[in-house]
Amino acid sequence: MALYTLVIFVLASLIFFVHAIKRESTTILREAPEMVVQRQLAGRHELIPIDYIEKIRSIRGVDKVEARLWGYYYDPVFGANFTVMVPETKQLAPGRIILGRGVARTQRISTGDMVTFRGATKASLLMTVQEVLDYQSELVTSDLVLVSRSDFQELFNLPQGHATDLAVTVANPDELATIAAKIADRLPDTRPILRSEILRTYESLFDWRGGMMTVILFSAILSFVIFAWDKASGLSADERREIGILKSIGWETSDVLLLKFWEGMAVSLTAFLLGTNLAYGHVFFFSAPLFEPALKGWSVLYPEFRLEPAIDFLQLAILFFLSVFPYTAATILPSWMAATVDPDAAMRT
């Protein structure tokens, strides 16, 4: 019973967690640009010259092209990687930064504090924290540092007239694939990436990770099923005697089977409810401390946030099929064997 609940709890946590994370990343990516154009040099991501903007804008159907600046900053003191970005919507004054929660937490700073960054040219940059980002969808923004364009160029010693990549907006979303093909054709050293592709990659990545975890857990489920089988078939002498009595006083095989069915139902239902509720609390109130390392990003700055509760029929059905169903199937044969005790067995002892 406790084992049953535990198996359901672990599985449910995993499934809820993967599902919630998928939703989270989908929500975030919904705001991402429809298409990003990167330049490739020897198969690696390279800075893209600003004059590519005009070349792309001249393609029919392209609405807007914006240069994006972003990169990673390694903080040797805390051994953490930050994502540094120049915001597209917010205009930041030079010397001011906005931090993600994770950065603020590790650096132990808050709004109004000063913070230093070691620039690429040895000169350190002293900046004032203007704001700490809200925790909504912290998973991705946790390690974020937003700086102004000039600070970004100074921090990384970025050559003038270059951007990290270009965000392209298209007038008609149906044309995305066609325009992407045209860009790739006209600017052979670039690689257009569609938002839907990123979304798909993310999803299959999370599914894959979740699936791998499930496969690993599978052995646990299997041993649990064997345990269920063993327990159901190894009826105690008392139980065998009781079933014998029931049969001798007029109960029929199907009555005993029904009794066993309700018994199994009660056990399964209790374990299922208990397990899923515990898992719900684990994932959505305590942010799944058991799985975080395995399933979230690789950064040292683990985001600390509450996942938006999201469960639907699919999650519960998956759970049901991975736990209750094998358990029930494993108990059919043993309960039948118990139920077919000879009715006169009670008389012959």
Partner 1 sequence: MIYHPAILSLLTASTIISMMVLFAGWKGLLILRCWDLKSGSELQLQMERSTYLVSTILAYILFFHLISLFLYIFTADDLHSMFVGAMCAAGSLNANRFGYPVLMLKIVTCICAGVWLIINHADSQGYDYPLIKPKYAFLLVLVPLIIGETSLQFLYFAGLKPQVITSCCGSLFSAGAGTLSSDLAALPRVPMEAALVAVLAITCLGGILFLKTGKGGYFFAAASTLLFFIAMAALVSFISIYVYELPTHHCPFCILHREYGYVGYPLYAALLGAGIAGMGAGALMPARQQASMANVVPGIQRKLVATSVALYLLFGLVTAYLIATSALKF
Partner 2 sequence: MIRLANVVKTFNSGKPNQFTAVDDVSIEIRPLNLTVLKGPSGSGKTTLLSLIGCMVRPSSGRIFLHGIETRFARHNESAGSFEITSLPERFLNEIRRSTFGFIFQQFNLIKGISVLENIMLPAYPTGENHTALHQRGMGLLERFDIKRHAPSKVEWLSGGELQRVAIARALINNPSILVADEPTAHLDSRLSHEFMKIVSELKSKGKTILIASHDPIVYDSEIADTVVEMRDGRITGRGHEE
Q: Is 197 in the site for partner 2 (CB under 8 A)?
A: no
Which region, judged by CB under 8 A, interacts with partner 1, from 99-107, 196-204, 234-242, 274-282? 196-204
Distance CA(116)–CA(124), nearest Å, equals 6
Residues 6+ apart with CB under 8 A from 290: 10, 13, 282
Number of other residues whose CB lies within 10 A of the CB of residue 13 = 24
Choose from partner 1, partner 2, none: what does 28 bind? Cβ within 5-8 Å by kind. Answer: none
Q: Which partner in partner 1, partner 2, none is near 297 (CB below 5 to 8 A by kind)?
A: none
Q: Looking at 74, 208, 262, 286, which residue binds partner 1 (CB under 8 A)?
A: 208
* One residue of 110, 111, 116, 204 binding partner 1 per CB under 8 A: 204
Cβ proximity to partner 1: between 28 and 47 the closer is 28
**Residue 321: partners with Cβ closer than 8 Å, 6 or more residues away:** none
326 contacts partner 1 (rule: CB under 8 A)? yes
Judged by CB under 8 A, the residue of 254, 285, 300, 309 near partner 1 is 254
Please identify which residue in 126, 313, 347, 349 interacts with partner 1, judged by CB under 8 A: 313
Contact in structure between 106 and 78 (CB atoms under 8 Å): yes
Q: Per rule CB under 8 A, is residue 248 in the interface with partner 1?
A: no
Residue 219 tokens, joined: 């052995």
298 binds, among partner 1, partner 2, none (CB under 5 to 8 A by kind): none
Establish if 318 lies at the interface with partner 1 (CB under 8 A): yes
> Which residue matches tokens 């029931």?
246
DSSP one-letter string for 213-244: HHHHHHHHHHHHHHHHHHHHHS--HHHHHHHH
Q: Which stretch binds partner 1 (CB under 8 A): 155-163, 182-190, 272-280, 334-342?
A: 334-342
Rounded CA separation 294/201 (Å): 18
Q: Which of residues 67-126 bind partner 1 (CB under 8 A)?
A: none
Candidates 7, 8, 10, 18; binder of partner 1 (CB under 8 A) is 18
- Nearest-angstrom CA–CA distance, 48 and 36: 12
Sign of the alpha-carbon torsion through 258, 227, 4, 236: positive
Q: Are the beta carbons of 218 and 320 closer than 8 angstroms?
A: no
Q: Which does 348 bind (CB under 5 to 8 A by kind): partner 2, partner 1, none?
A: partner 2
Q: Residue 200's Cα: distance from chain center in Å? A: 13
Which of 229, 197, 205, 224 is closest to 38 using CA atoms? 197
Closest separation between CB of residue 328 and partner 1, Å?
A: 7
With CB cut-offs between 5 and 8 Å by kind, which of partner 2, partner 1, none does residue 69 bind?
none
Q: Is 262 in the site for partner 1 (CB under 8 A)?
A: no
Question: Residues 236 to 255: which contact partner 2 by CB under 8 A?
Answer: 238, 242, 245-246, 248-255
Chain positions 315 to 344 lying near partner 2, rule: CB under 8 A, are 342-344
Alpha helices in the chain (DSSP H): 2-30, 52-57, 101-107, 138-141, 149-156, 176-186, 195-233, 237-248, 253-280, 292-295, 313-322, 324-339
Q: Least distance from C-beta 347 to partner 2, angstroms?
A: 5
CB of 197 to partner 1, least distance (A): 9
Q: Hey, what amino acid is at 145?
A: V
| Contacted by 343, from partner 2, partner 1, none: CB < 5 to 8 Å by type | partner 2
- Rounded CA-CA distance 57/120 in Å is 32
Sites of contact with partner 2 (CB under 8 A): 238, 242, 245-246, 248-255, 342-344, 346-349
Sites of contact with partner 1 (CB under 8 A): 14-15, 18, 196, 199-200, 203-204, 207-208, 210-212, 214-215, 218, 253-254, 257, 313-314, 317-322, 325-326, 328-329, 332-333, 336, 339-340
